[in-house]
Each structure stands twice: as structure tokens, then as C-alpha cells.
């Protein structure tokens, strides 16, 4: 608005001045002030006048207005924080009132609902251990507070004697083993941090030298003329199970692949046990077959072996022998039309190449805080771990989807096996031992979804961290006996399995969730500040570099990774010692957020026009669609292990105040709050 002359103009007269007129722009929620008249050259209004007096009157009013505007902005921020806190408190109250915990049986989540009961015993032992640590910490905190109270009388004398005995006991018997365990975890932490640093340096070297895998002979742009380029026979498989939210998008995207139709066949491998979902997928397949796509529908009667069994059954078809390569896409993946043209040519004139893997991109990475943190993790996984291993040693773990295999490599490695829940890593390790090489294409993306609820993400991470330990037990004798170079054996055993799959979850949970809070009650055992703060901050910075837009979430990411160490540690132990929960297979819940509009918006510029006019509408409804059965209700739950650990860490934070350990206090406080939010299921999807 225009300045008000009655307020800003001042009095007429020789020694009076006219102030600095301003425009106050009230654009909610930001405020800004723009000068439109300086009132003199070189800021003369702010200099002493001829009489030596400093003219301040009107400028003071300006500063007052600026401060008022900033105070208004701060009040708006405080109001927003208060509103968010109230909403958070209401959500927490709903969780507590409902009383549903992670130990409650959930119908329809597992394939085989008796699995949850079978896993109750080992899980209850882990929870009992955490609860015992919590009770002990509360008791020790009470003892410390009583000792610091300096009371009088017989009771005070008793407490003083008891506390002195406790100090002598902990110094003689508890501190040495605790310090030894802490030092061991610190060494493992440093080794793993060094490995991550080396990988990050490798990524920087790849960017600096612009290293990029290139095919010897790219495919021709004319996909309708098989003789014009390299267009071998390609089999495309889409394994799915009860995923009616996403089946239309994935089938449509695969049927739209830019490849000669005579040289491609799509297999929809439906393991759904819901008859309604089966009918819907069959109708979708028929719709695309009528549109000219070469597509078949397969449904297993005996659903054994989960995804590995499904893929193994599909590879046993007689017509598979006519195909040279197989591309695999999970039900929520939508490749761009040029996916095969950018991956398959890498196999030409490269007979040792067994796998070409593309990276994932996510249509819902900004949906909530949980998806943002997952995006950070997976960006580091693809851009650093997969890319560096692919460039320097031609080996990495197959991601299970968005990849193209040479069928000869699959057969030479023994085919799909149902012995673990990580069939993708299993086949990759066996192919590596057979001498096959892998290529990772960081610039070829395939869209998919991230789990939006903590329950779905937690079950996914349990499978991803228990499976490698099962595989390690099974593959270790084969790795030792295999006639490959020693460095390949060392890389598989010490780096691929032990360091990145076993040591990482072990020290993350033990060091930051158990040892650190225990050192608050046994101060004779110490953890330096650089272990608690500086090195974790550096590692979090390295992890977040591949996703630069996520830098505002670096602190939540650090805290959340430590929080997830509980699930990962539990899964690692289950897989290593073959406990019942190691064989859990829960299909990750999908929301079906990928639409044709998403595909067009995120597609490369050259593909948008082609994508928009080449296929029928993905979301087209099916006529005479059977009425689906009533959905089972979804609930937010209370996670007892995370909640118990939050109380343990907050108790340790209270104890650290007595010893005035600032860094440790803040870390324990915020880590305890992080566990509390996750324990109350306040980080992901809010089901009301």
C-alpha cells in the first residue's frame, strides 16, 4: 500500500527532514519493505545534520514497523507449530485410546496367518530384553536422584552407603565389559564409515571422469523394422499378488514398450488368492490383447515359493526357449517406452554380461516424511552403492525388478530358488560366482511407489534384512569352495555380507540404542563426542548428497536411521539364526498413486508426446466389473519395542543432566523423541 504521508512526512522546516518513504508489502506469510525514495544522496538522512544532531525520529518508527512485521511473522510460525503440536497430540491420543499394538494379529497381511503366532516367542524375548533395560535404567535413575538429593536422617545414610557400594561395583565389574563392547562397536562403526566414505569418493570420481556404461551398438530408432537394428527376442514378466491398486498402470506401461511386437511377449504372473482381483487382471490382459499386444495371463494353483516360485514356474513354459532375454517389473513399476532400447543393446557383443539393472524413481517421494526419508536412502543406494560397484567390480545385488537378465545366465546359475526371501540377491550371487558381469545404468529410470505407512515399510525392511543373513548361511560354503579370484571371495564375504548386511544393523542398534544410554548410568565407560555427534553427522551428510533437495531433512534422517536399527537388528538376528520370522513374506502395500498423468509429467521430454497418444487411457474402467469384496480396515498401531526404547533413551537423557554432558543429552533427547514418534506411528500415513 502507499505510504501514509501524515505519519511519515514529518514537519515542515529547515531542520526537519522527510524520512524514508517505504512500501510495506503484506504477502502472507512473508513481509518485505522496499525503499522508494532515499531522501538524499549517500544516505544523508542517516548522517548527522549541520548542527551535529543525529536525526533519528522517523527512522526509529520505521524500525518499529519492521520489528512489528517480523514479530507478526514469528507469531504466525508459532501458531503453526502450536497447531501441528495439537494435531500430533490428538493423533497420539487416538493411538493410545485404540490400544492396537504391533503384536496384535492382522488378518490378510501375511501369506499364512499362522506365521504371526509362530513368531511371537522370539519377538517377545527381544521385547523383554528392551523392557528389562528400561526398568533397570529407571531404577538407576531413581538411585542417582536420591544420591544427589543430599537428604538427612537414617534413610539418607542408607542411600549413601548403597550408592557408594553401587559405584564400587559398577567401576569394578560393569564398566570394563561395557567399555570393551563400546570400543568394539566404535571400531566396527569406523570401518563401516570408511567403507561408505570410499564409496562416496568412487561416486565423485565417476562424476568427475563422466564414466558411463555405453552399448557397443545402440538400437535403431525404427522399432517396427527388426532388421534395422538390434532387436532380439525379449520376454517381459510382471509378477503380482493381490495388487489391484497398481495392476492397470504396470500392464499399460509394459505393453507400451517401444519394441517390435513380434519380438516381445508379456507374461502377467498373477499369484492373487482373491478371485475378484484375478478377474480384474484377466480382463485387463484381454483388453490389451485386443489392442494388439502380445500378452498372456498365468495363474498358479499351488502358490509355493512366493515370488521366486512364481518366476520359476513362468520360466518353465515351453515357449521361453525362443527368447534370449527376460525383463522383470514388479506390479508397481512403470517403465518408460524406451526402456528396452536403452538396456538390451548393452548385451550385444558382450557375451559375459548377465544383467543390466536400471535405477528406481518414485512418484510419491514427497507424500509424507516417511517417503522423503526413504528417498534419501534409496538415492544413496542406487547412485553410490550400485553405481560404484557396477563400474569398478561389475557386481552388485539385483534389485528384483527394473532389470534385464540374459536367460542363459539365469539357467547357468541354477535358476530361481525359493530357499530365501531375497531371491533377487540369491540369483545375483550365484551368477557372480559363475563369472557373469553386471551393468548398472544410473541414467535409466523406472518409476515405482514407496511405502507410505510405517507398518508397510517396517515389514519390507524386515524382509530385506533377514533374507541376506539366510542367504549368507547358505552361500558361505559355496563361496569358499568356488574357483574364483580371492578378491571376489573377500568382497562377497567381508564387504557384501558381513560389513553391509550384518555389522551395520548390529552396531547401529547396539552402540546408539543400548551402549550409549547405559554409559549414562555407568559413567566409568565413556563414548567420546565424535562418536555420538560428528561421525554420524558426516555419514548422514554423505548419504544425503545424492538427494540434494533433501538437505533440510538431514537431522530427521539421522534420527530415523537409528530408530530403524531396531527393526533391522531384529531381522538380522532372525535371518542369521533361522528364527521363524526370517521366513515372513508380506506383499508391500501399494496406494496406486501412479497415473498416466504422472507418467507423462515425469517422462523425458522426447517421450511425452509419444506417451500421451500411443496407448488407451490407463485408468479406463472395465465394463461389468465384479463388485469387490469389502476391504479390511487399516489401523495405526503402537510399536512396543520402539516405545520402550524411547523411554529408555529419555531416561538416559535425564540422567545425563546430572553429569552435565551436553552433547550426549541432546542426542539422547532427540533420539528418544524420534523413537516416541515412531512408536506411536506418527511418522507415516495417518489412518483416521
Q: Which residues are catalytic?
A: 271, 424
How far apart are the C-alpha atoms of 238 and 253, rounded to whole Å? 11
Q: Give the Å distances, CA to CA, from 147 to 120, 152, 650.
A: 40, 11, 20
In the numeric block, which cell numbers belong to residue 596?
Answer: 498416466
SS3 call for 297: strand
Residue 684 region, left (φ>0) first, then alpha (ψ -120 to 50), else beta? beta
Nearest Cα neighbor of 333 from 240, 405, 398 is: 240
Is residue 213 within 8 Å of residue 441, measured between CB atoms?
yes
SS3 call for 264: strand
Q: Give the Å distances, CA to CA, from 82 to 75, 76, 89, 501, 629.
A: 10, 10, 10, 41, 41
Sheet bearing 234-240, strands edge to edge: 295-299, 264-270, 234-240, 325-328, 403-406, 353-362, 437-448, 334-335
Q: Exposure string (b/e) for 45-82, b if CB count within 10 Å is 16 or more?
A: beeeeeeeeebeebeeebeeeeeebeeeeeeeeeeeee
Q: Give the Å distances, CA to CA, from 367 to 244, 363, 373, 545.
A: 21, 9, 11, 21
Q: How many residues does the chain have?
A: 688
Nearest Cα neighbor of 455 from 608, 679, 150 is: 679
Query: Counting beta carbons within 10 angstroms of the beta carbon of residue 181, is it exposed (0 to 12), middle (13 to 18) or buried (19 or more)?
Result: middle
Amino acid at each position: 500500500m502507499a505510504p501514509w504521508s501524515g505519519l511519515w512526512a514529518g514537519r515542515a522546516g529547515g531542520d526537519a527532514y522527510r524520512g524514508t518513504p517505504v512500501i510495506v508489502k503484506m504477502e502472507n506469510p512473508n513481509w518485505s519493505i522496499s525503499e522508494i525514495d532515499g531522501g538524499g544522496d549517500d544516505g544523508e538522512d542517516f548522517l548527522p545534520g549541520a548542527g551535529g544532531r543525529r536525526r533519528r525520529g522517523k527512522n526509529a518508527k520505521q524500525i518499529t514497523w519492521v520489528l512489528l512485521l517480523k514479530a507478526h511473522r514469528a507469531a504466525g510460525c508459532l501458531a503453526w507449530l502450536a497447531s501441528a503440536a495439537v494435531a500430533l497430540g490428538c493423533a497420539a491420543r487416538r493411538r493410545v485410546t485404540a490400544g492396537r499394538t504391533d503384536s496384535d494379529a492382522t488378518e490378510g497381511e501375511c501369506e499364512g496367518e499362522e506365521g504371526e503366532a509362530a513368531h511371537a516367542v522370539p519377538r517377545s524375548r527381544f521385547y523383554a530384553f528392551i523392557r528389562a533395560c528400561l526398568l533397570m535404567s529407571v531404577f538407576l535413575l531413581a538411585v542417582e536422584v536420591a544420591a544427589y538429593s543430599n537428604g538427612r536422617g537414617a534413610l539418607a545414610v542408607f542411600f549413601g552407603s548403597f550408592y557408594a557400594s553401587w559405584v564400587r561395583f559398577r567401576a569394578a565389574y560393569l564398566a570394563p565389559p561395557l567399555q570393551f563392547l563400546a570400543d568394539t562397536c566404535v571400531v566396527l562403526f569406523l570401518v563401516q564409515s570408511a567403507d561408505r566414505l570410499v564409496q562416496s569418493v568412487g561416486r565423485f570420481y565417476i562424476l568427475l571422469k563422466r564414466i558411463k556404461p555405453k552399448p557397443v551398438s545402440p538400437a535403431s530408432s525404427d522399432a517396427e523394422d527388426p532388421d534395422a537394428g538390434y532387436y532380439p527376442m525379449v520376454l517381459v514378466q510382471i509378477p503380482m499378488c493381490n495388487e489391484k491398486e497398481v495392476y492397470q498402470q504396470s500392464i499399460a506401461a509394459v505393453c507400451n514398450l517401444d519394441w517390435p511386437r513380434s519380438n516381445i511377449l508379456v507374461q502377467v504372473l498373477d499369484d492373487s488368492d482373491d478371485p475378484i482381483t484375478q478377474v480384474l487382471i484377466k480382463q485387463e490382459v484381454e483388453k490389451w490383447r485386443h489392442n494388439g499386444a502380445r500378452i498372456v495371463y498365468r495363474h498358479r494353483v499351488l502358490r509355493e515359493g512366493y515370488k521366486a516360485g512364481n518366476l520359476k514356474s513362468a520360466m518353465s513354459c515351453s515357449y521361453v526357449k525362443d527368447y534370449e532375454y527376460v525383463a522383470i517389473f514388479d506390479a508397481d513399476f512403470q517403465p518408460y517406452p524406451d526402456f528396452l532400447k536403452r538396456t538390451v543393446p548393452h548385451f550385444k557383443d558382450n557375451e559375459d554380461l548377465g544383467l543390466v539393472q536400471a535405477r528406481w524413481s518414485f512418484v510419491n517421494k514427497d507424500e509424507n516424511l516417511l517417503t522423503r526419508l526413504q528417498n534419501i536412502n534409496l538415492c544413496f543406494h542406487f547412485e553410490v552403492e550400485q553405481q560404484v560397484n557396477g563400474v569398478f567390480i561389475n557386481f552388485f545385488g539385483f534389485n528384483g525388478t527394473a532389470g534385464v537378465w540374459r536367460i542363459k545366465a539365469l539357467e547357468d546359475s541354477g535358476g530361481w530358488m525359493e530357499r530365501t526371501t531375497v531371491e533377487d540377491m540369491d540369483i545375483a550371487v550365484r551368477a557372480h560366482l559363475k563369472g557373469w558381469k553386471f551393468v548398472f545404468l544410473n541414467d535409466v529410470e523406472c518409476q515405482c511407489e514407496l511405502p507410505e505407512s510405517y507398518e508397510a515399510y517396517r515389514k519390507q525392511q524386515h524382509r530385506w534384512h533377514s533374507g541376506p543373513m539366510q542367504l549368507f548361511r547358505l552361500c558361505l560354503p559355496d563361496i569358499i569352495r568356488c574357483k574364483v579370484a580371492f578378491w571376489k571371495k573377500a568382497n562377497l564375504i567381508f564387504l557384501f555380507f558381513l560389513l553391509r548386511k550384518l555389522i551395520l544393523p548390529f552396531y547401529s542398534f547396539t552402540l546408539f540404542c543400548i551402549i550409549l544410554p547405559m554409559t549414562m548410568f555407568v559413567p566409568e565407560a565413556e563414548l567420546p563426542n565424535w562418536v555420538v555427534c560428528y561421525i554420524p553427522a558426516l555419514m548422514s551428510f554423505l548419504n544425503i548428497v545424492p538427494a540434494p533437495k533433501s538437505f533440510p531433512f538431514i537431522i530427521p534422517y539421522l534420527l530415523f536411521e537409528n530408530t530403524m536399527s531396531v527393526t533391522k537388528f531384529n531381522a538380522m538376528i532372525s535371518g542369521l539364526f533361522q528364527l521363524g520370522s526370517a521366513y515372513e513374506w508380506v506383499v508391500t502395500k501399494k496406494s496406486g498413486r501412479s497415473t498416466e498423468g504422472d507418467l507423462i509429467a515425469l517422462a523425458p521430454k522426447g517421450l511425452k508426446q509419444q506417451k500421451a497418444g500411443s496407448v488407451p487411457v490407463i485408468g479406463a474402467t472395465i465394463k461389468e466389473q465384479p463388485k469387490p469384496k469389502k476391504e479390511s480396515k487399516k489401523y495405526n498401531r503402537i510399536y512396543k519395542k520402539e516405545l520402550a526404547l524411547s523411554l529408555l533413551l529419555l531416561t538416559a537423557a535425564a540422567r545425563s543432566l546430572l553429569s552435565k554432558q551436553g552433547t550426549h543429552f541432546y542426542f539422547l533427547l532427540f533420539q528418544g523423541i524420534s523413537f516416541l514418534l515412531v512408536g506411536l506411528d506418527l511418522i507415516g500415513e495417518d489412518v483416521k
